A and B are shown apart, each in its own frame.
Chain A
Amino acid sequence: MSKALLERNLFELIRRTSTDLPRDVERALKQALKREESGTHAKWCLDKMLETVAVSRSGNLPLCQDTGTLIFQFRVPTGCDTNALAAATRNAVSRATRMGFLRENTVDSVTGAAYATNIAPGAPQMIFIQGARKTIEVRLMMKGGGSENVSKQYSLPDEKLGAGRDLAGVRSCVVDAVLQAQGRGCAPGIIGVGIGGDRVSGMAYAKKQLFRRLDDRSPVHALAKLEDQLTKELNGLDIGPMGLGGATTVLGVKIGALSRLPASFFVAISYMCWSLRRRGMLLGPEGGRLRWLY
Chain B
Amino acid sequence: MKTLEYPFTKDAVQNLRAGERVVLSGTVFTGRDRLHKFIGEGGTVPVSLKDGALFHCGPVMVKEQGGWKVLAAGPTTSIREEPYMAGIIGQCGVRGIIGKGGMGAATAEACKNHGCIYVHLVGGAAALTASCVTEVKDVFFLREFGMAEALWVLELAGLEGVVTMDAHGGNLHQDVLRNSQSNFNK
Q: How far is the CB of B166 from chain A (nearest CB, A)?
A: 14
Q: Give Cα distance in the complex from A172 to B168, angstroms.
A: 36
In the complex, whether B79 has a CB less than 8 A from a CB of chain A is yes
In the complex, whether B177 has a CB less than 8 A from a CB of chain A is yes
Which of B6-14, B45-53, B54-62, B109-117 lies on the face that meets chain A?
Answer: B54-62
**Is B147 in contact with A114, judged by CB distance below 8 angstroms?**
yes
**Is B176 in contact with A182, judged by CB distance below 8 angstroms?**
yes
In the complex, whether A198 has a CB less than 8 A from a CB of chain B is no
Given contacts A48-B160, A64-B74, A105-B148, contact A242 B123 (CB under 8 A): yes
**Is B72 in contact with A61, judged by CB distance below 8 angstroms?**
yes
Selected from B58, B120, B125, B145, the residue in CB contact (under 8 A) with A244 is: B120
Size range of the interface on A? 35 or more
In the complex, whether A183 has a CB less than 8 A from a CB of chain B is yes
Q: Give Cα distance in the complex from A7 to B152, angstroms.
A: 33
**Is A62 in contact with B72, judged by CB distance below 8 angstroms?**
yes
Q: How far is the CB of B76 from chain A (nearest CB, A)?
A: 7
Q: Give Cα distance in the complex from A184 to B147, angstroms.
A: 23
**Is A184 in contact with B79, judged by CB distance below 8 angstroms?**
yes
**Is B77 in contact with A184, judged by CB distance below 8 angstroms?**
yes
Which of A50-58, A78-86, A207-215, A223-231 lies on the face that meets chain B?
Answer: A50-58
Q: Give Cα distance in the complex from A175 to B186, angstroms.
A: 13
Mark interface residues in B136-159 (1 if CB within 8 Å of A CB, else 0): 000000000111110000000000
**Is A55 in contact with B101, judged by CB distance below 8 angstroms?**
no
Given contacts A48-B160, A182-B180, A239-B180, contact A64 B126 (CB under 8 A): yes
Q: Give Cα distance in the complex from A182 to B60, angstroms.
A: 26
In the complex, whether B73 has a CB less than 8 A from a CB of chain A is yes
In the complex, whether A95 has a CB less than 8 A from a CB of chain B is no
Q: Give Cα distance in the complex from A140 to B179, angstroms.
A: 37
**Is B124 in contact with A274, judged by CB distance below 8 angstroms?**
yes
In the complex, whether B106 has a CB less than 8 A from a CB of chain A is no
Q: Give Cα distance in the complex from A84 to B100, angstroms.
A: 41
**Is B59 in contact with A149, judged by CB distance below 8 angstroms?**
no
Residues 81 to 134 of chain B near chain A (Cβ within 8 Å): 100-102, 120, 122-131
In the complex, whether A280 has a CB less than 8 A from a CB of chain B is no
**Is B123 in contact with A237, judged by CB distance below 8 angstroms?**
no
**Is B162 in contact with A244, judged by CB distance below 8 angstroms?**
yes
Mark interface residues in A111-137 (1 if CB within 8 Å of B CB, else 0): 011100000000000000000000000
Task: Using CB atoms, name the residue of chain A closest to B63.
Answer: A100
In the complex, whether B183 has a CB less than 8 A from a CB of chain A is yes
Task: Using CB atoms, name the residue of chain A closest to B124.
Answer: A275
| Given pairs A145-B76, A242-B122, 16 additional interface contacts (CB within 8 A) | A44-B162, A52-B125, A56-B126, A56-B127, A62-B60, A66-B74, A67-B60, A114-B145, A114-B148, A114-B149, A146-B123, A183-B176, A186-B100, A237-B180, A238-B183, A240-B176
| Top 3 A-B pairs, shortest CB-CB distance | A114-B146, A52-B128, A186-B123
